[in-house]
Structure 1
Amino acid sequence: MTVSTRPSPLHLLLAFASGGLLTLMVDFNGLVALHGNALYSSWVAHGTGTVAAILFLALMRQRPFPAKGGAAPGTPLWAYLGGVSGAVTVMLTSTTVNSPLALSGTLALGLGGQVVFSLAADRWGLLGLPRRMPKPRDFAAVGLIFAGSMIIIFGRS
């Protein structure tokens, strides 16, 4: 069986849609933080997500926890730390979206940070990923993302 190295149109559409949902999430979390604070925004986001996940699991008739009470088979324990990075991300974006960066600047710089970290993760095989050496076009993409971010942030006047 051969695996295609090109994403399907469905994968591209799903990734694009997740970017739109991420934008809504950051905006909603920023609004909650504006009326409370960043920590409260993170609690609201994760509390709502927990309730939604439990409801979805109930509708799908799935058990919320693995049968033996431990981690799912084959899942490294550090994978469960994703919730910590999610909580910190909500607090950071809730703070910056209410700053002069606004929503577009926050998301533009966030995208740059994601690409830089993903290149590092590919390069050194972090988090169990296969090692892949970045190519010059990858660094060009990072440069263009940061240049676009600067235009978004400083080109408002």
Structure 2
Amino acid sequence: MPSRRILFNRLTLPALALLAGGLLALMIHSNSQLARYSNPLCASWLAHGIGMLTALLIWRAMPTPKTSSRPAPPPIWAYLGGLPGALVVSLAAITVNSPLAMSGTLAIGMIGQVLFGLLTDRFGWFGMPRRRYRAQEILALLPILSGCAILIFGA
């Protein structure tokens, strides 16, 4: 019988990733609506300001760990996560309000995420462990790319 931790990883973590993807689509839609009534930069500022307040509330509500040792500080580049986030919000707000629409923006964004993830795994960028590609990972790219092409260009 699998342990609870293995079961958690197999069931809950993919469900959380799926939820994050749905929330990403909702965020892109909301920000595109803000950008339609103002501009992409204003939408990005508002989204990140509200996101910061939400994160502060969640952080304050979480219990503090009772450890005596201080963890090592993160690498300096880890503090730059907001930069790509701001660009994603701004660029997605522009592309959603274009002929690409929501599905095209998300499809092309997914291609970018998968390709960047594969490169990050392969070369060990950002402290990730290096991994060699397996044949099924390369084969998995074909239906992803095909499905995205159908969404963007039609059948």
Q: TM-score range by the shorter chain?
A: 0.7 to 0.9
Partner residue in 2 for 1:65? none
Q: What's the TM-score once normalised by structure 2's chain length?
A: 0.85
Listed as ranges, the matches of 1:146-157 within 5 Å are 146-155=145-154
- 8 Å contact from structure 1 (residues 26, 94) kept in 2: yes
- Structure 2 CA distance for aligned equivalents of residues 140 and 52 of structure 1: 39
- Structure 1 CA distance for aligned equivalents of residues 145 and 38 of structure 2: 31
More helix by share: 2
> CA shift at 1:7, angstroms?
4.0
Listed as ranges, the matches of 1:2-151 within 5 Å are 7-60=9-62, 73-151=72-150
Q: What's the TM-score once normalised by structure 1's chain length?
A: 0.84
* % identical aligned pairs: 44
- Structure 2 CA distance for aligned equivalents of residues 146 and 127 of structure 1: 25
Local SS of the residue matching 1:25: helix
> CA shift at 1:61, angstroms?
6.6
Partner residue in 1 for 2:68? none
- Structure 2 CA distance for aligned equivalents of residues 59 and 137 of structure 1: 42
Moved over 4 A (4+): none
- Structure 2 CA distance for aligned equivalents of residues 18 and 119 of structure 1: 19
Residues 112-138 of structure 1: CA deviation (Å, up to 9, x unaligned): 110100110011000001100112222
Residues 96-153 of structure 1: CA deviation (Å, up to 9, x unaligned): 1111111011111111110100110011000001100112222222222121111111
Residues 28-74 of structure 1: CA deviation (Å, up to 9, x unaligned): 01111111111111101100011112222333376xxxxxxxxx733
- Structure 2 CA distance for aligned equivalents of residues 143 and 119 of structure 1: 14
Local SS of the residue matching 2:81: helix
Amino acid at match of 1:102: A
Local SS of the residue matching 1:74: coil
CA RMSD after TM alignment: 2.1
